[in-house]
Amino acid sequence: MKKKEEDHLNHLERLIEQQTVELSATKRKLQQEIKEKKIVEDELKDHRDYLDRMVKERTFELRKVNKELRAEIMRRIQIEKELVESQRFVNRITDATPNLLYIYDVITNRSIYINPRVTNILGYTHDQIKGFGNSFFQHVLHPDDTKIFESMQNNLENTEYKDIIEKEYRMKNVHGEWRWFSSRSVIFKKTSGEQPHLILGIAEDSTERKKSEEELNRSREQLRVLLAHLQSVREE
């Protein structure tokens, strides 16, 4: 009987020892799993922190870019408003001046711009001027004065921006009458090779002045003839 009890106790001790070993192994496994889980959680936390920082930095950058973009848009809107206002100002000046304003391409020998005042001075309608295209001057310029614009490029080779170019020529109005014009031009743009490209000019209708000069010259000639006749009579 005692033997059986001892065997039973031994068996129980072995079971307890086996369970203790199993529990220790399970404990180590759990500790390892907890450790690995902790590592994974730390890594996940690092990733979340990294992502949070990236999101914050990206959000800050996007807000900054958005702010700069809005500022640029506002700046462009302001520039466009200023350009429109400047264009209106230029248009008011060109409409108010009593003379012709023009931009002429001396390389292609064609007019780039003529202010609306031409309709009052020469009588051509907007549609007629539009029909002439960029060769307006060629259509209305006197045949004897065409060489003035054709030779202008050669005359401009040594001309600086500050130099004033003075020309006198005739243009035909809508009624077929030849009108004299005195123009003063300056170089508006040069090519990359520093060759004259565009000139900006203003032309004044000098027909009445030319008529007055001619009348004055005729009066002077008549006076000279009369004085010569009086001198001849006096000598006789």
Q: What is the pLDDT of residues 46-98, one digit of tens each?
A: 888 888 888 888 888 888 888 988 889 888 888 888 777 766 776 677 777 77
CA dihedral 75, 76, 82, 87 (to 10 degrees): 170
Q: What is the pLDDT of residues 100-141, one digit of tens each?
A: 888 888 778 777 888 888 888 888 887 888 788 777 777 888
Q: Specify the pTM.
A: 0.54
Q: How far is CA 215 from the centre of its chain?
A: 51
Strands (E), the chain: 100-105, 110-114, 165-172, 178-190, 196-205
The reported pLDDT for the residue numbered 179 is 92
Amino acid (1-letter code) at residue 145: D
Q: How far is CA 68 from the centre of its chain?
A: 21
